[in-house]
Amino acid sequence: MSKEAAILMLISDLLIYGPGFVRDVLAAWSNADPTAEDFDALANVANSLRPVDPLKK
Amino acid sequence: MKKKVVGIFIMALILGLMFGCAANVKDQFAYGTQGTLSTTLGTYKLINNTFTDLRVQGLITDEGWAQYDKMANKFLDEHIKVSKAMAAYKRGETTASAVDVAIGLMQEALRELRSYYISTIPKDKQQPLF
């Protein structure tokens, strides 16, 4: 394979697969990956849902 | 030159795959646990609403409520432990297997609560649980 053919192949691969790959990686990074703070907040929500006896209010 | 270009391309591909896979696996665990926490909390809310409504109607005795209160608090304690374990996991302070153990204990507590709900609440007053 000549140098030009290798470069053309690389460019065509980048054009074909590049956008999808970039989209997937960006989605994995930025798409609301739950954080430690999200789980802390969930713990607070659960703690606020303790049963309350309505007859002893 | 050709070998260099092909070598760089293959290296970039391998690095990209490794990075992408690592990001996905981590996401799936966090998403999965978040989903489990939300679903189990939803089930608990249904159970709690039913017990509270029936308690207001006088259909749950003091002893029945005390038992429910104990089991519900146990479930919530385990639920909170999972959330805190998951927060620690995201901060890199604990392992996924430690979180899995906590999830198992929470699901066991919910199973007990569900059994109590099914055996205590009259069939026509029960809401379908998910």
Q: What is the pLDDT of residues B70-109, one digit of tens each?
A: 999 999 999 999 999 999 999 999 999 999 999 999 999 9
pLDDT digits (tens, 9 = 90+) for A3-48: 888 888 888 888 888 888 777 777 666 666 789 999 999 999 999 9
Task: Look at residue B108 and tell me if it is in a domain.
Answer: yes
**Position B52 in a domain:** yes
Closest CA to B41 of A32, A44, A31, A56: A44
| SS3 category, A45 | helix
At A32 the pLDDT is 66
Could you give the CA distance from residue B112 to residue A41 in angstroms, rounded to a whole number? 25
Number of domains in chain B: 1
Rounded to two decimals, the pTM is 0.71
Domain membership of residue B116 (yes or no) is: yes
* Domain containing residue B112: 28-125
**What's the pLDDT at A2?**
83
Question: Burial level of A53, CB count in 10 A (0-12/13-18/19+)?
Answer: middle
Does residue B8 sit within a domain?
no
Q: Which residue has the higher pLDDT, B15 or B10?
A: B10
B contacts of A34 (beta carbons < 8 Å): 30-31, 33-34, 86, 90
Subunit contact B69:A37, Cβ cutoff 8 A: no
Is B2 within a domain? no
In a domain, B20, yes or no: no
User: Quick check: B128 pLDDT over 70?
Assistant: yes
**Does the pLDDT at position B26 exceed 70?**
no
B22 located within any domain: no
CB within 8 Å: B20 and A24? yes
